[in-house]
Amino acid sequence: MTTLSVVIPARNEGENIAALVRAIDAALQAHQPFEIIVVDDFSEDETAQIVSKIAEQHKNVRLLRLLDFTNNENLIAYKKRAI
């Protein structure tokens, strides 16, 4: 069976990220299996912490931090790198 993956690059989306993840989760309930991957794009707010809490409760939600994959590179196109 094919898994549907939704990748969300997010930077400083603390006010909106929980609602977005929950809306996507609800919309995809009919499609099993699926995963929601939020890529934290060097957020300076609580975006990563919010997604981490959601991921603890929902096995299909994952948080990746772009910082963990950049090796101190000088990035210009953060969203492209996140995807």
- Helical spans, DSSP H, in the chain: 17-27, 47-57, 78-82
Q: Measured between alpha carbons, how far is residue 41 from residues 60, 61, 70, 76 in Å?
A: 20, 16, 11, 12
- Give the mean pLDDT of the chain: 88
Q: How confident is the model at residue 50 (pLDDT cuts 50, 70, 90)?
A: very high
% pLDDT > 90, the chain: 67
Q: Which one has a higher pLDDT value, 25 or 80?
A: 25
- Give the closest residue to 41 by CA, choosing from 75, 74, 64, 10: 10
Using an 8 Å Cβ cutoff, are 9 and 79 in contact? yes
**Model confidence over 7-43: pLDDT tens digits?**
999 999 999 999 999 999 999 988 889 999 999 988 9
Q: Domains (ranges, CATH) in the chain?
A: 4-82 (3.90.550.10)
% pLDDT > 70, the chain: 82
